[in-house]
Structure 1
Amino acid sequence: MTLIKVIEVLAESDQSWEEAARRAVKIASQSVRNIRSIYIENFEAAVSEDSIRVYRINAKISFALEPADE
């Protein structure tokens, strides 16, 4: 049986929400193995002078736990 763990992350990009999601997965993969999915929970943008400056996401990343050596 495979166990899945979920972590919540916040990420941002000055390009797009999609880029923020890519960054979230890329950075999480540096310390977490077996990433299976990302679920975007919230989208937010910081606006300055009538223009979007930063795209932000709140996401849940799921990954498979590795079995302990028996």
Structure 2
Amino acid sequence: MSVARITQISARSDKGFEDAVRVGVEKASQTLRNVSGAWVKEQKVEVTDGAISSYQVVLEVTFVLD
């Protein structure tokens, strides 16, 4: 039997949503042990002078407790 915990993080990229998810999961995996999945809870863009300047995601990251 295993027990997991979920934590919410935010990640940002100037390349796109997929890159923001990748950055968030990679950083979470460096900080948390046993990351087993992530759910994209929110997506948002920042607009500057009528153009998208950055992409942001809110992730719920699941990790299994030792």
TM-score, normalising length: structure 2: 0.95
In structure 1, what residue type is equivalent to 2:31? S
Question: Which residue is equivalent to 1:2?
Answer: 2
Structure 2: distance between partners of 1:40 and 1:12: 13
| Post-superposition offset of 1:34 | 1.0
TM-score by length of 1: 0.90
Q: Which residue in 1 is equivalent to 2:36?
A: 36
Query: Could you tell me which amino acid in structure 2 is paired with residue 64 of structure 1?
Result: V
Number of positions where the alignment pairs a residue of Structure 1 with one of Structure 2: 66
Query: 1:12-31 alignment to 2 at 5 Å?
Result: 12-31=12-31
- Structure 2: give runs of 5+ residues left out of the alignment: none
Quote the sequence identity (%): 27
Partner of 2:11: 11
CA distance in 1, matches of 2:32, 2:48: 35
Gaps of 5+ in 1: none
Q: CA RMSD in A?
A: 0.7
Radius of gyration: which is bigger? 1
Structure with bigger helix share is 2
Q: CA deviation at 1:20?
A: 0.5
User: Aligned to 2:32, what secondary structure does the other structure show?
Assistant: coil
The residue identity in structure 2 corresponding to 1:43 is Q
